[in-house]
Structure 1
Amino acid sequence: MNKTFGFLIGSFCVALLAAEKSRGNACSSAGNSLVSRPNVVLIMCDDMGFSDLGCYGSEIETPNIDALANEGIRFSNFKNAGRCCPSRASLLTGRYQHSVGMGWMTVVDEHRPGYRGQITGEVPTIAEVFKANGYSTYMSGKWHVTVDGSWRPEEDAAPNGSWPTQRGFDEFYGSLSGGGNYYKVKGLKRNTTAITDFPKGYYYTHAITKHAVEFIEHHNTEKPMFMYLAHYAPHVPLQAPAERVEKCKARYAVGYDVLRQQRFQRLEKLGLIPSGKKLPANNGEFDEAVRVDWSDLSEEKKEVWVEEMATYAAMIEVVDDGIGEVVNTLKKKGMYENTYFLFLSDNGGSARQSKLARLRADLTNTPYRLYKCFTYSGGISSPLIIKAPESILFEGSLRHDLAHITDVFPTCLDLAGVEYPETFHGEPISGPDGISLLPALRGDSLPERDLFFEHQTSCAVISGDYKLVRVDSRTPWELIDLKADPFETTDLSSRYPEKAIELEKKWTAWATRNHVFPLEEREWKERVIYYKEKYPDQRGDR
């Protein structure tokens, strides 16, 4: 072990153990336990790719997020559930999405256990557990885990038991919807009151930050705080203030090929990907016409791509500004020194919208294959940053352990010294599917385990060095040796058929336990129409 690295890990372990001992003593002291517990700020971006932060190799300027990373820990092998709703369900419950009713999207309640269009009320959310343990709980931003029929005005919208303030949050500002215009937001609520008036100059990312700051300013520091800051950005439509877009344009004129190679080199230099590997070609998986060099594009298409990518970058930079405001407010309030920060994205960059969107996603997901909605690494890989209170310095360390979005819930509880309940609403419940990442923060290895994925019949299992994955139920499985082939370029299923069969059996057993079957192969519109006609009640499982 490098002596400097060993010293840092040793120093960190001593500090963390001291902090845990102090926290444990505080929790057992009458009258002072709540004040001594740490605050937790959980931040999520929407559709942001693996390499879209400065501290993950990007040309996008994210100094505030980078500062958290430089004082914290970055994970290089963190996996999500591949799309907005499923990832949010897993984040909020610590469980695989199908097991809590959120196997697909909120657009329809299919009245099947794994596909109710919202998270079940049978297990607690992270906010409910923190609130039960004396925390003030705040949320600002995108919810997207309640069935759409509970908030759309044309469907007699009213709280159905699955809105944020009904699932543990004391205060909420944000959208119940999954996406839309940043200047006129669908399904926007202040607690349970609809907001339909958008003043001149309104921009959703600014408003999310504004309300998060106000929650902190009004917070009673006699209690600890849990805040969930769930940004819309950079989910399409790509919209940002014109002056911010203009600021970003020049850096994208060189084109995606050059930028993608530069990101790859920086990722390698930062130690976030293995060294000595070759960057795969741009992804032409669905359309060979997509696999083109920058020089082959017309000037008109180049201008469109630069405009789109500059807007995308500006959206992330505005998010970063807001995180800086939250940090500064916590410092002014005297809360920063006792606050944990966790930052992640819900899935990889999205290729939906146009062929140029695929080229944008190839850059944002560098160096990984495919995009949001797929269970290849481009869809399920995102940054994870954990920054501890100032008394515990991580010194910008990296962790290469395999981690999963279900781990965020138990990790937050572990950091705060909060126990997961044995019962909920008087009924016994099992613990989360995820595990605490605290051992990895200490520098210890996490236990080996298998991870499973499914979205719109795109399926995968990661087991040791191997991954079994397929685009959808109509295509064959591919067997990948992740150690030799981390960018998923070579299918080994014909060479090692026994291994492929072994992993498929594991995936099938998991899918059976977690209400994944039967897989639904209908396309989006047909699927929605079918289940709405079959089940007119679209208010969710109450």
Structure 2
Amino acid sequence: MGELVTYADGEPFSGVIGRTSDESSPAWPTPPQAREGAPNVLMFVLDDVGFGQLSCFGGLVETPVLDQLANNGLRYTNMHTTALCSPSRGAILTGRNHHSLGLATIAETSTGYPGYNAILPFDKGMLSEMLRPQGYNTFLVGKWHLSPPEHETPAGPYDRWPLGRGFERFYGFLGGDTNQWYPELVYDNHSVEPPARPEDGYHLSSDLADRAIEFVKDAHVNAPDKPFYLHYCTGAGHAPHHVSKEWADKYKGKFDGGWDEYRKVVHARQLEMGIIPPGTELSAHDPDVPEWDTLPENAKRVYARMMEVYAGFVSYTDHEFGRVISFLEEIGELDNTLFLLISDNGASSEGGPVGSLNEMMFFNNVPESMDENLERIDEIGGPNVFNHYAWGWTNAGNTPFRRWKRETYRGGTTDPCIVSWPAQISARGEIRRQYAHIIDLVPTVLDALGVDPPKDIRGVTQAPIEGVSFAHTFDAADAETRHHTQYFEMFGHRAIYHDGWRAVCPWPGPSFTEAAKKGRHYGDPIDGTILADLEANDWELYDLTNDYAETKNLAAENRDKVIDMVGRWWAEAGKYDVMPIDGSMLQRLNVERPSIAKPRDTFVYYPGGAPVPFSAAPKVYNRAFSITADVHVPDSGAEGVLLAHGGRVGGYCLFVKDSKLHCAYNFLGRDMFIVVSDTDVPRGDVALRYEFEPTGKPDFQAGKGAPAQGQLYIDGKLVGAVDMPHTVPNIFSSEGLTCGRDGGSRVASDYYQDDFPFTGTLKRVTIDLSGDLIVDTATDMKVAMARQ
């Protein structure tokens, strides 16, 4: 047989075409093939894990799998992120700065400016889009959080979902977080239910490891020589900190010394391990964090348990990732896998000063109750809560640095990074101190693979990659850094690095306590007057060569250097679309954005459909609305959920049980307002209705939505009512809406345990936000109230 003649797909035919086949010679278009021996790429992106938490970086959270990778490779101790989730994730995948991508913040706080609109441009391709044409399989498991929320429904568009951005397989969640026991899952381009329930031993970390192994195995069986790129993004350690009691109890008593002791111990470990330079001082005690020794014993007990649960969560994630590593070793691919680990930002403070059993309380400005947290201490980490630790642990988790996620001090932006590639990196267990930023990861991978950045992707000319490779440091500990200047901006909090110097302009201040003294608060807008004051008085200056942890502000005695650094910040800001500087939070959450669907007051749902993401569900907060379910009840009766919105930590659910119509309004897992019809639901075609009628104004500062009355109607007749002194002001949960059942965790778990599907015929459910409510007569109202 003759040699097979081939040509690249899309190139001109390289054979010969004559009048007949005997005058012709064939040639075959072939897909791109990776070069012989091309390595696999595995990028592991942790979530909200601080510089001082992993054991391989001196922390007290045991991660033996990551420790082994670090011992078999390199620890980069001068790696930086953007200080927030989606902005970092976009930068990690593209090699461009977050404002260049329109990702100034998360998509939920996007605004109508090029650096802020959260619509990732196609001229800034992702690593998946670069490697797939090079003959790689491309897989993503876990968190995405890079699509505008209005794009995340089954209506699409899907071009900014993972499969639209170069990944061939996807299994995970599209939003910023998810319940680890009851996740909202997407498989490729469609929603799926979790394969099991927590009572069966289900946890998302295990599920993601299973799916990662499946994706790699399926490809390897059919093309053993084809390399893969696996982007592995667990939910750990983002809230909710969910893990089994068995894993949390491994840390029983280990954090009883508190966060102040943790910082001292970890700081000493980091010095001993060489994670931080000799002589690095521990940053000062944060004014927002109470000193551990001043706390009452009950509070210490709750706080210590919160950290035990967090540590168990991260350790369990490490354990499950170990199964992926073991599988790669089993198939002989581990040594030739370029492994990179990074966290997306520093440890998170979203649990507030006292922590939370329900992170949604933070987003609704609802004060936490230490008494309640103590009463429910054994539930922390379990399916009934959506917990997050107190920010004393956040500060400790970023040791030796100050502050945390969402701020551009090093506590928010300096993160653990591991690189391992046994087949090509000869160094083992070494430290690398070269300055680097997550925009450097893509060019480093391309450099290591010998692949040039593509000039175009699917016909779109590509903008330059903004990061620089650090592959030259793999086997050269003393190599010079190639990354000399890097700006930072997050919610108006700004910083600039240049050749060993760092300037920071904190907003609203160095701490919330210090900011409040100036009448400034987190989430406040920045106007021209405030900006002028900030520029003149608030820039701080640090010499990182001698002050690794930003402990000595040198601005007063180095005004010329401050002026130079501030000028550099503005130059970088102009280059990368950072303006306008915006410190606001609530205002951004409520910005009107273009929607895939036209504006409407009426939403119609049908049973059997995919869950509606919480970001696309009707905004029913603090306004009159109605829910009408058109059903047919057979002679034998029917029961089940008609509509559920939210979950166990907040939401509402309309359902039929024991022949009665019910509506449960769950106030953030703390209060349950239930109304039950005083008559049975009749047989035949029936209209079952719930109305929410505000009776006062919300008090957002106190974390209270509008007081309201909830009313039930059967075929237009009032059959029940309940007064609600407060309702949810901003967001029920990160869980969405389901019709005909209660998907995910249960809104009213005391009334039903499974998803409780409706057993009659549910034709449709209509949510009406127009405020058009049934007018009740005084008599009807008195009768209804008398029957409660």
In the superposition, the TM-score normalised over structure 1's length comes to: 0.88
List gaps (5 residues or longer) in structure 2.
1-30, 355-389, 508-525, 599-614, 616-788
Contact 1:234 1:312 in 2 (8 A): yes
The residue number in structure 2 matching 1:49 is 50
Contact 2:50 2:345 in 1 (8 A): yes
Q: Which has the higher contact order (CA 8 A, sep 6+)?
A: 1
Counterpart check, 1:234 vs 2:237: yes
The residue number in structure 2 matching 1:23 is none
Contact 2:47 2:85 in 1 (8 A): yes
The residue number in structure 1 matching 2:589 is 528
Secondary structure of the corresponding residue to residue 355 of structure 1: coil
Contact 2:110 2:588 in 1 (8 A): no
The residue number in structure 1 matching 2:339 is 341
Mapping of residues 424-463 of structure 1, within 5 Å: 424-443=457-476, 444-447=479-482, 449-463=484-498
Counterpart of 2:240, as a letter, is: P
Q: In the TM superposition, what is the alpha-carbon distance from 1:537 to its structure 2 partner?
A: 5.3
Contact 1:123 1:424 in 2 (8 A): no
Q: In the TM superposition, what is the alpha-carbon distance from 1:394 to its structure 2 partner?
A: 1.6
Contact 2:340 2:419 in 1 (8 A): yes
Q: In the TM superposition, what is the alpha-carbon distance from 1:170 to its structure 2 partner?
A: 0.6
Contact 2:284 2:402 in 1 (8 A): no
Q: Percent identity?
A: 31
Q: In the TM superposition, what is the alpha-carbon distance from 1:191 to its structure 2 partner?
A: 0.5
Q: In the TM superposition, what is the alpha-carbon distance from 1:427 to its structure 2 partner?
A: 4.1
Inter-CA distance 261–538: structure 2 relative to 1 (3 Å threshold)? farther
Inter-CA distance 498–32: structure 2 relative to 1 (3 Å threshold)? closer
Q: In the TM superposition, what is the alpha-carbon distance from 1:123 to its structure 2 partner?
A: 1.8
Question: How far apart in 2 are the matches of 1:517 and 1:403?
Answer: 24
Mapping of residues 112-127 of structure 1, within 5 Å: 112-127=113-128
Mapping of residues 13-92 of structure 1, within 5 Å: 33-92=34-93
Secondary structure of the corresponding residue to residue 251 of structure 1: coil
Equivalent of 1:192 in 165, 169, 189: 189
Contact 1:459 1:470 in 2 (8 A): yes
**1:35-94: CA deviations, max 9, x gaps?**
521101110100000011111111211111000000101111110111101000100110
Counterpart check, 1:247 vs 2:244: no
Counterpart of 2:172, as a letter, is: G
Question: How far apart in 2 are the matches of 1:427 and 1:118?
Answer: 16
Question: How far apart in 2 are the matches of 1:31 and 1:365?
Answer: 44
Mapping of residues 377-396 of structure 1, within 5 Å: 377-390=410-423, 392-396=425-429
Secondary structure of the corresponding residue to residue 341 of structure 2: strand
What RMSD in Å do the two structures reach over aligned CA positions?
2.0
The residue number in structure 2 matching 1:204 is 204
Judging by fraction of residues, say which structure has more strand: 2
The residue number in structure 2 matching 1:417 is 450
Q: In the TM superposition, what is the alpha-carbon distance from 1:359 to its structure 2 partner?
A: 0.6
The residue number in structure 1 matching 2:728 is none
Question: How far apart in 1 are the matches of 2:296 and 2:410?
Answer: 30
Contact 1:34 1:223 in 2 (8 A): no
Counterpart of 2:173, as a letter, is: S
Contact 1:50 1:56 in 2 (8 A): yes
Judging by fraction of residues, say which structure has more helix: 1
Question: How far apart in 2 are the matches of 1:198 and 1:327?
Answer: 23
Counterpart of 1:170, as a letter, is: E
Considering only CA atoms, is the larger Rg found in Structure 1 or Structure 2? 2
Secondary structure of the corresponding residue to residue 66 of structure 1: helix
Q: In the TM superposition, what is the alpha-carbon distance from 1:406 to its structure 2 partner?
A: 0.3
Equivalent of 2:565 in 497, 503, 506: 503
The residue number in structure 2 matching 1:295 is 293
Question: How far apart in 2 are the matches of 1:262 and 1:249?
Answer: 18
**1:398-434: CA deviations, max 9, x gaps?**
1111010000111111222222112233343343111
Secondary structure of the corresponding residue to residue 53 of structure 2: coil
Question: How far apart in 1 are the matches of 2:587 and 2:563?
Answer: 32
Question: How far apart in 1 are the matches of 2:392 and 2:178?
Answer: 22
**1:5-36: CA deviations, max 9, x gaps?**
xxxxxxxxxxxxxxxxxxxxxxxxx9985452
The residue number in structure 2 matching 1:366 is 399
The residue number in structure 1 matching 2:324 is 326
The residue number in structure 2 matching 1:464 is 499
Q: In the TM superposition, what is the alpha-carbon distance from 1:277 to its structure 2 partner?
A: 3.4
Q: In the TM superposition, what is the alpha-carbon distance from 1:246 to its structure 2 partner?
A: 1.2
Counterpart of 1:530, as a letter, is: V
The residue number in structure 1 matching 2:548 is 486
Secondary structure of the corresponding residue to residue 252 of structure 1: coil
Question: How far apart in 2 are the matches of 1:170 and 1:489?
Answer: 46
Secondary structure of the corresponding residue to residue 469 of structure 2: coil
Contact 2:44 2:340 in 1 (8 A): yes
Query: How many pairs are equivalent?
Result: 499
Counterpart of 1:529, as a letter, is: N
Question: How far apart in 1 are the matches of 2:597 and 2:405?
Answer: 26
Question: How far apart in 1 are the matches of 2:33 and 2:204?
Answer: 38
